[in-house]
Amino acid sequence: MEKKGLIERHTSSKDARQKAVVLTDKAVKIASACQSYLRKEEEEFAQQFSSEEREVFLKILQHYRNI
């Protein structure tokens, strides 16, 4: 990822063994584009179901989340 310009590693000034990994602007733009795409796809998928069906689905997910 570093070679592709997506992350940068920085060495700590206090401890040379410690490294910080930071996303580059290029990676932030790619991540943002991915999030937008996934949000759009999720909205399109959800439109296939009625609001009642979505509500039942969310209740089922919440139930399994609490187990």
CA angle 48, 50, 55 (to 5 degrees): 115
pLDDT at position 12, please? 86
Q: pLDDT value at position 7?
A: 97
CA distance 6 to 19: 16
Identify the pLDDT of residue 46: 93
Q: What is the pLDDT of residue 20?
A: 93
How high is the pLDDT of residue 67?
A: 87
DSSP code per residue over 33-50:
HHHHHHHHHHHHHHTTS-
Q: State the pLDDT at residue 43.
A: 95
pTM over 0.85: no
Q: Which residues of the chain have pLDDT under 70?
A: none
**Confidence (pLDDT) at 14:** 86
